Structure 1
Amino acid sequence: MDRGILLALVLVLLVVLLALLPLGWYARRRRQKDVVAPISAPTDLGTVVGSFAGKYVATTASGDPYDRIAVHGLGFRSAVTVTVSDTGVLLVRPGTPDVWIPRADLLSLQRATWTIDRVVEPGGLQLIEWTLGSRAVATYLRLDNPAAFEAALSPYLPIERQAS
């Protein structure tokens, strides 16, 4: 076979694969249409315990770090400011709606090493498990000061699920 023909076939295959990427993302969003949007943050957050800068990595289905939630602005990594208060946790990311996690919806706080497209040193990610509607989800964060964040959030978790 001529080299020109092989090159053309490879280029066509590459274009087809690149065209499938947005189609796959669209299909994921369509499959997740039943995922409810996070509720809006209250005007009064209560007593603010701390504010922490870092990176928002992903939100996935709880227990399945490969199943990224792609709807309601939860699908893309970005910078984040996490505010912990006595009434919940507020995630503020540029260009996306804020995510409010009420204290009653918090399930646990853990450390993680990896999720869908990020691998870090052991325990380098903070994983907040919470309920979004009737679905348990896990939000992965890479914060600049993880120990202070965990100390601020731990008192507001259910007793049996506090981080150690």
Structure 2
Amino acid sequence: MTREGALIVIVAFTVLLIAVGVWAWTKRRRRDATPLITPGDVPAGATTSALFEGLYVATTRHDVPLERIAAPGLGMRSRVTVTVTDAGLALDLTGRPRLFLATDRIAGVDQSTVAIDRVVEKDGLTRLAWRTDAGDLVDSYFRPQDASARALADAIAGILSTTQTGTDA
């Protein structure tokens, strides 16, 4: 095979890989076209207990960290501000309307090392399990910038235990 022939094969193969990737992402976007949650704001009178700046990594099916959900607003990695209040969490993703997760929608919080396109040090991500508008359980992953993943997880766990026990913090 000549040098030009080899170059043509390599270019054709590269174009084919890119086309398959675009096709797969388009198919996933169609599958996940329904928003997981309606945008909303923190209820009036809610008290803010913590604020975390960081990176929103991904939302996946519950306990399937390599199955990204490409729902509107949650399909791509983004900067995020997580506001922890006594009523729930407000998520401010860059360029998107605010999302609010009331405490009754939050199923749990812990730490993780792996999400779809991110591998970090042991327990370097905060994993938030929550219920969508349709009632499905999903996991969202966050990487705090100026605090540890444990600090974010503890702040969220604090509002869950307060809600479940009915005590004031």
Amino acid aligned to 2:52: F
Question: Which sits farther off after the overlay, 96-105 or 48-57?
Answer: 96-105
Structure 1 length normalisation: TM-score? 0.88
Q: Assess if the C-alpha contact under 8 Å between 1:38 and 1:101 holds in 2.
A: no
Give the distance between the partners of 2:90 and 2:114, measured in 1 at CA: 23
* Aligned equivalent of 2:91: 91
- In the TM superposition, what is the alpha-carbon distance from 1:53 to its structure 2 partner? 0.8
Structure 1 gap segments, 5+ residues each: none
- In the TM superposition, what is the alpha-carbon distance from 1:30 to its structure 2 partner? 1.3
Give the distance between the partners of 2:123 and 2:93, measured in 1 at CA: 23
Structure 2 gap segments, 5+ residues each: none
* Aligned equivalent of 2:112: 112
Question: Which sits farther off after the overlay, 147-156 or 85-94?
Answer: 147-156
Question: Which sits farther off after the overlay, 35-44 or 77-86?
Answer: 35-44
Amino acid aligned to 1:70: A
State the Cα deviation string for residues 62-83 of structure 1 (Å, max 9, x = none). 1111111101110111111100
Amino acid aligned to 1:41: D
Give the distance between the partners of 2:34 and 2:79, measured in 1 at CA: 27
Q: In proportion to residue count, which structure has more strand?
A: 1
How does 1:116-155 map onto structure 2 within 5 Å?
116-133=116-133, 134-143=135-144, 144-146=146-148, 147-155=150-158
* Aligned equivalent of 2:3: 3
Amino acid aligned to 1:152: A
How does 1:1-164 map onto structure 2 within 5 Å?
1-34=1-34, 36-42=36-42, 44=44, 46-133=46-133, 134-143=135-144, 144-146=146-148, 147-157=150-160
Amino acid aligned to 1:17: L
**Number of residue pairs aligned between Structure 1 and Structure 2:** 160
Q: Assess if the C-alpha contact under 8 Å between 2:129 and 2:138 holds in 1.
A: yes
State the Cα deviation string for residues 108-137 of structure 1 (Å, max 9, x = none). 110100111100000000001000121101
Structure 2 length normalisation: TM-score? 0.86
- Percent identity among equivalent residues? 34
Amino acid aligned to 2:147: N
Amino acid aligned to 2:109: L
3-state SS of 1:95 partner: coil
